[in-house]
Amino acid sequence: MKYYSCLLAIVFSIVLIEALAQEYSNAYGKVIEYKNEQPYETVFVQPVKNNKVKNVILMIGDGMGLTQVSTAWVANHGRLNIDNFTHVGLSRTTAANRLITDSGASGTAMATGQKANYHSIGVDVDGNPLASITDLAIAKNLSTGIVVTCGITDATPATFCANNEDREMEEDIALNYLTCGVDFIFGGGRNQFIHRQDNRNLMDEMKNMGYQVESFWDKVSSIQKGKVFALLEDGQLPLYPERGDVFKDACMKAISILDQNKNGFFALLEGSRIDDCGHWNDIPKLMNEMIDFDQTIGKVLEWAEDDGNTLVVVLADHETGGLTLLDGDISDGLIKISYSTGGHSGILVPVYAYGPKSEMFDGMYENTEVFERIVKILKLK
Ligand SMILES: [Zn+2]
């Protein structure tokens, strides 16, 4: 009997070791090379002298840690539009109940100023709904916008518009868009609005609420004013470059419409799919997403330089993939990298600020401070 249980233990151990070895032999630790032959031109903007903030544009690179920025910088031959930022801080991303956050808890911290539990959306640790920056901005008669490349019921955009203890409840989160009052809403995720358990057609309901509801970019591009609800896909938008310049164009369209409000605006612009590429440990796809996000940053910075009263904050909600830059060559855009996880990591993430009051984002702080500082700057409380 003793002999058999001993044998069983040995066999079980071998199976377990093999299973673990398989899991870790995927891409983790393996050195992967990538080379970008065609760097893009970056813009150069002057620091803004003015001190009055009318608008805040918050740009989130989902899963965009310092290594994602550093690798993109080397791959683009030593330059990025991000280089223009005059003030830089570091944000701690922990969730209320876990060291390693998800986009729900981190988005909630930045959108509402309170640390939240893993997977929760716009609620406190007891499940009570919290007011977000967008809620406070709407109450002060500012215009608001959300532009993302994922579904709008995905975690990050949801934290600025919805309240739910579970990010998976996407059909319920969709209902929150009927009442949140955001003026310009753009992304994917039509399924949660038209293919629902309750058979409601929320696209029609949004139209009845006065939104210009569109499913094609050509239609969105010709809109000049008013409320916009545009979902171009059933699920997420395709990756860059397959989706073309639609993220850049949608961001600039949102800004041009929101800027018509003399009280100012708050806009959330998210490079949502940087995170997916981290989860897949796919460096070519990641570099493409970083290019699209950084080029959009270039366009936004040029607009903000010209405007003079807009604060632009670019940051991440967490890092994804445990990406490491091991070697490379700035002169030809070669990078040698490795990944250490298919999930998120717990490292501090960068916060870049440009424009009036940008100095307020210097230092090292919890991600809840993103909310606190924007609310203070826009005098939302
Ligand atoms: Zn995320």
How confident is the model over 271-285, as pLDDT tens digits?
A: 999 999 999 999 999
Rounded-to-integer distance, Cα 373 and Cα 379, Å: 10
Q: Does residue 329 carry a pLDDT above 60?
A: yes
DSSP secondary structure code for residue 121 in this structure: B
Q: How far is the CA of 61 from the centre of ligand 1 (A)?
A: 8
CB atoms within 10 A of CB 23: 10
DSSP secondary structure code for residue 152 in this structure: T
Residues 58 and 23 in one domain: no
Q: How far is the CA of 134 from the centre of ligand 1 (A)?
A: 19
Contact 183, 227 (CB under 8 A): yes
Residues 15 and 74 in one domain: no
Mean pLDDT within 17-28: 52
**Residue ranges making up the domain that contains 310:** 32-377
For residue 247, give every residue at least 6 positions away whose Cβ sits within 8 Å of its Cβ, in sequence order, or none.
147, 149, 237, 240, 271, 292, 293, 296
Q: What single-letter amino acid sits at 270?
A: E
Mean pLDDT within 54-58: 98
Q: How many domains does the chain have?
A: 2
Q: At 10, is the pLDDT very low, low, confident or very high (cuts 50, 70, 90)? A: low
Residues 146 and 189 in one domain: yes
Residues 26 and 139 in one domain: no
Query: Left, alpha or beta for 42 (phi > 0: left; psi -120 to 50: alpha)?
Result: beta
Residues 24 and 88 in one domain: no
Q: Reading across the β-sheet that carries 228-231, which strands appear in turn?
A: 212-214, 228-231, 184-188, 143-151, 265-271, 55-61, 310-316, 349-354, 87-92, 363-366
Residues 146 and 9 in one domain: no
Residues 37 and 23 in one domain: no
For the question of residue 103 being annotated catalytic, the response is yes
Q: Does residue 1 carry a pLDDT above 80?
A: no
Identified catalytic residue from 70, 91, 103, 106: 103
Q: How far is the CA of 320 from the centre of ligand 1 (A)?
A: 8
CATH code, domain carrying 91: 3.40.720.10
Q: How far is the CA of 358 from the centre of ligand 1 (A)?
A: 24
Rounded-to-integer distance, Cα 67 and Cα 83, Å: 14
pLDDT in tens, 281-328: 999 999 999 999 999 999 999 999 999 999 999 999 999 999 999 999
Q: How far is the CA of 145 from the centre of ligand 1 (A)?
A: 19
DSSP states of 205-228: HHHHTT-EEESSHHHHHT--SS-E
Mean pLDDT, the chain, rounded, equals 94
Q: How far is the CA of 285 from the centre of ligand 1 (A)?
A: 17
Residues 94 and 50 in one domain: yes
Find the length of the chain.
Answer: 381
Residues 141 and 74 in one domain: yes
With a pLDDT cut of 70, the percent of the chain lying above it is 93
Residues 117 and 218 in one domain: yes
Rounded-to-integer distance, Cα 107 and Cα 95, Å: 10
3-state SS assignment for residue 137: helix
Contact 237, 270 (CB under 8 A): no
Q: How far is the CA of 321 from the centre of ligand 1 (A)?
A: 11
| pLDDT at residue 51, as a whole number | 84
| Region of poorest pLDDT, from 5-9, 176-180, 222-226 | 5-9
Residues 211 and 357 in one domain: yes
pLDDT in tens, 148-197: 999 999 999 999 999 999 999 999 999 999 999 999 999 999 999 999 99
Residues 340 and 323 in one domain: yes
| pLDDT at residue 19, as a whole number | 46
Residue 326, φ and ψ in degrees, nearest 5: -95, -35
Q: Does residue 209 carry a pLDDT above 60?
A: yes
